[in-house]
Amino acid sequence: MKLQKVGRNVLLAICDAGLLGRTLHEGKIVFRVKEDFYKGTRLSVGEAISMIENSTIVNLVGKNIVNKAIERGYVHPEAVLEIEGVPHAQIVKL
């Protein structure tokens, strides 16, 4: 989990630990789970999910974190994009 302040926004990037540094391919999509964007504090899924409440932009990658975000009502299941079988979701609070 990595938390950054970007202007007036709070950007939260969370990925399942095993995905860090991987590159996912799906058709023409190439998605890099870059360490400089996602690597930060290692937290439990529950701890990471609790950080969503105070964030304005959230990027989620991985089955564990995306499923928990769906379960908590932060992400609608139909808004999830699968890349090489790995779920990816974004939340933007206006």
In 1-94, where does DSSP find H-type helix?
35-38, 45-50, 63-71
* Amino acid occupying residue 66: V
Helix, strand and coil content of the chain, in percent to the nearest 5, comes to 30, 35, 35
User: pTM for this structure?
Assistant: 0.94
* Mean pLDDT in order along the chain per 10 residues (94 residues): 95 97 96 97 94 96 98 97 97 92
Q: Does domain 2-92 have CATH number 3.80.30.20?
A: no
Residue 86: predicted pLDDT: 98
Per-residue model confidence (pLDDT) at position 80: 98
Give the model's pLDDT for residue 94.
Answer: 81
